[in-house]
Structure 1
Amino acid sequence: MTQGLLKAPKLSPSAGAPTRRPSAWSRSTFWAGRHQMQGLYSTGRWLSAAGSIWTMLLMVLIVTDVLGRSLLNAPLPRVPEIVGYSIVAIVFLQVVDSVLSRRLARSDAWSESIAKRRPVLAAAMMAGFQMVGAVVMGIIAIATLPDLVESWRYADYFGSQSDLAIPVWPFRAVVVMCAGLASVAFLVDMFRTMADAPMARANTREMLRFAAMAGVAVTGLTIALLSFQSGFGIAVTLVVCMVLLVLLGMPIAMALAGLSFVGVWLLREDFLTAADMLKIAATGSIQNQLYGVVPLFVLMGLVVNEARIARDAFDVCEWLLGKIVGGLGIATVAANTVFAAITGISIASAVVFTRVAVPPMLDHGYSGRFAVGIVAGSSVLGMLIPPSLLLIVYGIVAEVSVGALFTASIIPGVILAVGFALMIYAIARFAPSFAGVTAHAARKSYPSAWSRAPEAKETPRTALAKLSPIGLLIVAVLGGIYCGVFTPTEAGAVGAALALCIYAVRAVRIPGLSNWPALWRLLIETGQVSVSILLLIIAANMYTRMIALSGLPADLVQLVVAVEMPFAVLILCYLGALLLMGMVLDSVSIMLITLPLMLPILASFDVDLIWFGILTVIAIEVGLLTPPLGLSVFVVKAALGNSAITLRDIFIGTSPFVGVMLLMIGLLFIFPQLTSVFQ
């Protein structure tokens, strides 16, 4: 998704800045002391561990409720309310560790370039961004404190005294405590950034110049905002500033929440009202059972990856398709399609298949650019084939059924996968200089799929055994949703539980897989990825409130009506904007910035939001493959390690996939009924 989701948790210097010997000032500073830093880091890790254990308990609770309801007609009481309150607590329990590990979602579109050329400037910018994060989290903690006191004083509870009454104050106490610690963590990280920066005299002058320029920019922006007489000007200015800050590397959630807070403050001319809205967004916007789908599906995907199920799927697809021209590439697409049906994260597919599929393709004569292009290009299926985290985010923001989105994405996802396979076949057959393979080499390299020859890697029996775990997960998760047996959140819990059971069974049978510290690491990773996504949803809720208060959506609707813009032209302009933004912003950021502006306009056209969601996801996913950001491309490059394959090679290799995705967008635009086949 973003750079912040990819880095391993560690105490590192500023992103992109080279490690330097600390100055005398930093060595003598309390905040830079290793003992104090490690103490806060350990606290964050323990809180994150508590959140991970809480997530596991929620999984057990939901699965027990599903079994009790389905088998015994005896559902557990108050499960939706418990899950809703728990998700809020889990997010704040794990936010401290995410801040200190620098795992909050952010874009590196410009920040890495600035860090390489002007490391002091990059450090100063990062310190400023961390200060904003400290202020946002501090406001949430302070604004939630009165609610904590009130719930304690009046013994507020949810549920009923007749079956199950659960007090509210412990959940609010977690929010207040952890938001306050997150504010401190941002400040500590800010001082760490400053301590890691070089303190030579010339660099000090550069930092002072930057501070002066930043002060002038903030003063000018403040004067401009105060001079606006309408909410339209305030909203447009803040949206532009938001995009710029995200491009510069500010954590996306902090950019959305911080500037939206400023916008509400200016629009209502009341600081307390803005603080109250930020508190409501932080504690109330995700207080719903639906949001439990995020950590549960993330957990399922990570456990499936650790269980080496993707490698088994690739082995079987390689065995079945190896004799076809370009068969290994087609096998990669097929395995990616199957893997996408249980992960929902494109970057997971990119990492796994870079390690699994690229080496055998290179061994069988594929060119480096073609091999890595296939992996990066087909990885985008993870965001379209259900269950997809991007579809879940869209469903939450657009307030449409996540299950309906999953159903609608099946046919477009299959068509896109088939299009990728046909494109690979055509390139391998008719452009061998690009692909690096020939029809003769492809046919000669593999035995028949049903051969009993000793050199055959698989037999029908072993192939079925390898595909049975992933088949079980697909049937349980997607079958349960489509048949109405359980909700998407319950499907995530059932899928995560089944994935853990499969991992346990395979750990006994496969040597070297039973690595319980690795499983614990996956639980921590689940929390860090989930927090990044859920914090974005919280910030987007605040952003939506600011946009609604400004009247900007209504002004845009009036503008569209006034110019009598046809619907087709509107959609084409929207898709063009998504494709351009996809070159510099990550998928979730694009969606959260554009949807609050676009959805009110679509209401006047009576548009099917399910179809619009599938179209939006495909258009946004093109950005994963296009420069300069191209997140899937950077993930593949990082997974390759030291390799002669350059970023330019990978971008060239993914260009045919971009063409197929653009054709798919056109196909959906002409035939919107493709999303309603199973409705």
Structure 2
Amino acid sequence: MSYEFIAITMFSAMMVLLLTGQRVFAVIGCVGVVAAYLLWGDGGSELGFSSAMKLVKWYPMLTLPMFIFMGYMLSESGIAEDLYKAFHVWMGPINGGLALGTIGLMVIISAMNGLSVAGMAIGATIALPELLRRGYDKTMVTGVVQGGSTLGILIPPSVVLVLYGMIARVPVGELWLAGLFPGMLMATMMAVYIYIRCRINPSLGPALPVEDRNVPMGEKLALLSAGILPLGIFAVMMGLFLTGTTSLVESSAVGAASSAGVAWLRGRLTRKLWTEVLQKTLGISCMFMWILLASLCFGAVFDGLGAVKSIERFFLGDLGLTPWQVLILMQVSFIVMGMFLDDTAMLVIVAPLYIPLVQKLGFDLVWYGILYTITCQIAYITPPFGYNLFLMKAMAPPEIGIRDIYRSIWPFVGIMTASLLIIALFPEIATWLPDYYYAK
């Protein structure tokens, strides 16, 4: 039996088992362990145990629960709601100002949490009802929330980039720096689109009435401080890391402790909040740990088979494709998979193949990590089965139907696609900052 046939059989078995509704990490780990046992006997069956030990000894893994804790502490303590009130007061007088404020809220939530689900939940429950109540066009603002929520997996401290860095053996600090400019570029393009559209047609995003704008300056400044606190935490955390004062793990601990301190200063650090944040942090951290464990096991089997060399020979030798053509095919496959899977599942499934192949094709793994992340963002919100579309339907008010959700998303798909093309054609947007910092 050829190694190519074994590799195809493993992937086919994995996809069939995923269609049964089983958990992603269980399917991937099971296929990896069973394949190892059938191929190499009792010794091969220990691959899963070896992967577990490798994961336990992986010191950077400590950053994962720290950043998840920080995000949940800041969001569950009501700071996100304070942020939106600040945007409401300061941006309200502008046509489309609340929608622009929602994009700003999503950027800050991204810096707080690093998960797209958190941005979606906060945008759908806090921003969307207020936008609808103020007479904003429901199709436009539904797209604003969905498009803005995807920024969470690109702007640091992105949890997805942490996972990518661990699997690809790329420094997480480089990936975070690489994601900063692309994330801000995408957020800026979304904001410009909203501003121009509401300037052309003010009825899509009416300005706040005069009576709602008459807020004392002292109250405005107090609300503005709500946004300074989480940004201050992010600045201190990243500043300590970038100046070399602390390691990445130590910086994550500073962020986690600071978020608890902010919640305490605002009088919101109750026993109930503490319990909820710890429970959610434990649940998400364990999920990511299991997914990484399954990925390492599955990848070890693939490395043993030499499947990457076979795939490389197939694309470049048998089909005669250029490296760029192979890269485009890989990105298209992400969009297709994104209709059914979330970002971590996609990364785990294709990492054993794509990451070594990208390296052999001569592309920069840091730059490719940003392309992967943006493509995931596009896949999340692409009909008919985009992952975030159904999350939005579950969280949105009753007057938002699935047709509204589908119609709302296309301008933001266009913005993300344009961002992807710009960064693909001009890699320096992603690579300049990490290259500059680490060359110092």
TM-score by shorter chain over 0.5: yes
Following superposition, the deviation at residue 444 of structure 1 comes to 4.7
Instruction: Output the CA distance in 2 between the equivalents of 1:294 and 1:247.
Output: 29
- Relative distance call for 1:486 and 1:426 in structure 2 (3 A) is same
Following superposition, the deviation at residue 360 of structure 1 comes to 1.8
Following superposition, the deviation at residue 457 of structure 1 comes to 8.0
2:185 corresponds to 1:391:
no
CA displacement, residues 445-502 of structure 1 (integer Å, 9 cap, x when unaligned): 6866xxxx4x458655314422231122111222222222222222221111111111
Match of 1:175 in 2: none
Instruction: Output the CA distance in 2 between the equivalents of 1:457 and 1:365.
Output: 26
Contact map agreement 1:447 1:456 (CA 8 A) in 2:
no
Match of 1:611 in 2: 367
Following superposition, the deviation at residue 673 of structure 1 comes to 0.7
Contact map agreement 2:89 2:220 (CA 8 A) in 1:
no
Match of 1:595 in 2: 351
Contact map agreement 1:372 1:650 (CA 8 A) in 2:
yes
Greater relative CO, 1 or 2 (CA 8 Å, sep 6+): 2
Instruction: Output the CA distance in 2 between the equivalents of 1:319 and 1:498.
Output: 27
- Relative distance call for 1:267 and 1:463 in structure 2 (3 A) is same
Match of 2:44 in 1: 274
Contact map agreement 2:316 2:323 (CA 8 A) in 1:
no
Which residue of the other structure, out of 31, 47, 53, is the alignment partner of 1:283? Answer: 53
Match of 2:241 in 1: 481
- Relative distance call for 1:458 and 1:612 in structure 2 (3 A) is farther
Contact map agreement 1:473 1:495 (CA 8 A) in 2:
yes
Please give the root-mean-square deviation of Cα atoms over the aligned residues, in Å: 2.0
- Relative distance call for 1:428 and 1:295 in structure 2 (3 A) is same
Count of residues paired in the alignment: 433
SS at match of 1:255: helix
Match of 1:426 in 2: 196
Contact map agreement 2:140 2:204 (CA 8 A) in 1:
no
TM-score (normalizing by structure 2): 0.93
Instruction: Output the CA distance in 1 between the equivalents of 2:387 and 2:273.
Output: 25
Q: Which amino acid aligns with 1:607?
A: F
Following superposition, the deviation at residue 608 of structure 1 comes to 0.9
- Relative distance call for 1:519 and 1:426 in structure 2 (3 A) is same
| Max Rg structure | 1
Which residue of the other structure, out of 420, 431, 437, is the alignment partner of 1:676? Answer: 431
Following superposition, the deviation at residue 655 of structure 1 comes to 2.1
- Relative distance call for 1:560 and 1:446 in structure 2 (3 A) is farther
Instruction: Output the CA distance in 2 between the equivalents of 1:588 and 1:484.
Output: 29
Following superposition, the deviation at residue 581 of structure 1 comes to 1.3
Which residue of the other structure, out of 67, 84, 89, is the alignment partner of 1:297? Answer: 67
Moved more, 294-303 or 238-247: 238-247
2:237 corresponds to 1:467:
no
Match of 1:546 in 2: 301
SS at match of 2:9: helix
Contact map agreement 1:582 1:620 (CA 8 A) in 2:
yes
- Relative distance call for 1:328 and 1:620 in structure 2 (3 A) is same
Instruction: Output the CA distance in 1 between the equivalents of 2:88 and 2:242.
Output: 30
Moved more, 559-568 or 525-534: 559-568
TM-score (normalizing by structure 1): 0.61
Q: Which amino acid aligns with 2:204?
A: V
- Relative distance call for 1:533 and 1:600 in structure 2 (3 A) is same
Instruction: Output the CA distance in 1 between the equivalents of 2:218 and 2:321.
Output: 58
CA displacement, residues 475-531 of structure 1 (integer Å, 9 cap, x when unaligned): 122222222222222222111111111111212xxxxx4541232122111111111
Instruction: Output the CA distance in 2 between the equivalents of 1:412 and 1:406.
Output: 11
Which residue of the other structure, out of 206, 216, 232, is the alignment partner of 2:4? Answer: 232
Match of 2:264 in 1: 504
SS at match of 2:257: helix
SS at match of 1:409: helix
- Relative distance call for 1:428 and 1:285 in structure 2 (3 A) is same
- Relative distance call for 1:267 and 1:457 in structure 2 (3 A) is farther
CA displacement, residues 182-230 of structure 1 (integer Å, 9 cap, x when unaligned): xxxxxxxxxxxxxxxxxxxxxxxxxxxxxxxxxxxxxxxxxxxxxxx12
Which 5+ residue runs of structure 2 have no aligned equivalent? 435-440
Instruction: Output the CA distance in 1 between the equivalents of 2:59 and 2:144.
Output: 37
Following superposition, the deviation at residue 249 of structure 1 comes to 1.4
2:183 corresponds to 1:413:
yes
Following superposition, the deviation at residue 576 of structure 1 comes to 1.1
Q: Which amino acid aligns with 2:257?
A: A
Contact map agreement 1:411 1:677 (CA 8 A) in 2:
no
Instruction: Output the CA distance in 2 between the equivalents of 1:602 and 1:623.
Output: 20
Instruction: Output the CA distance in 2 between the equivalents of 1:446 and 1:415.
Output: 35
- Indicate the structure with greater helix content: 2
Following superposition, the deviation at residue 591 of structure 1 comes to 1.1
Aligned-pair identity (%): 26
Matching of residues 508-587 of structure 1 within 5 Å: 513-562=268-317, 563-587=319-343
Following superposition, the deviation at residue 312 of structure 1 comes to 2.0
Instruction: Output the CA distance in 1 between the equivalents of 2:49 and 2:300.
Output: 12
SS at match of 2:122: helix
Instruction: Output the CA distance in 2 between the equivalents of 1:664 and 1:569.
Output: 19
Q: Which amino acid aligns with 1:609?
A: L
Instruction: Output the CA distance in 2 between the equivalents of 1:610 and 1:575.
Output: 15
Which 5+ residue runs of structure 1 have no aligned equivalent? 1-228, 508-512
2:395 corresponds to 1:639:
yes
Instruction: Output the CA distance in 1 between the equivalents of 2:224 and 2:204.
Output: 29
Instruction: Output the CA distance in 2 between the equivalents of 1:623 and 1:426.
Output: 26
Match of 1:347 in 2: 117
Instruction: Output the CA distance in 2 between the equivalents of 1:360 and 1:468.
Output: 22
Instruction: Output the CA distance in 2 between the equivalents of 1:614 and 1:458.
Output: 41
Which residue of the other structure, out of 17, 29, 33, is the alignment partner of 1:261? Answer: 33
Instruction: Output the CA distance in 2 between the equivalents of 1:311 and 1:262.
Output: 48
Contact map agreement 1:584 1:628 (CA 8 A) in 2:
no
Contact map agreement 1:411 1:675 (CA 8 A) in 2:
yes
SS at match of 2:22: coil
CA displacement, residues 278-317 of structure 1 (integer Å, 9 cap, x when unaligned): 1111232342110111111111111011121112222222
Contact map agreement 1:404 1:610 (CA 8 A) in 2:
yes
Matching of residues 3-402 of structure 1 within 5 Å: 229-268=1-40, 270=41, 272-402=42-172
Q: Which amino acid aligns with 2:423?
A: L
Following superposition, the deviation at residue 671 of structure 1 comes to 0.6
2:207 corresponds to 1:442:
yes
SS at match of 1:285: helix
SS at match of 1:585: coil
Q: Which amino acid aligns with 2:207?
A: A
Contact map agreement 1:364 1:445 (CA 8 A) in 2:
no
Contact map agreement 1:231 1:267 (CA 8 A) in 2:
no
Q: Which amino acid aligns with 1:426?
A: I
- Relative distance call for 1:264 and 1:357 in structure 2 (3 A) is same
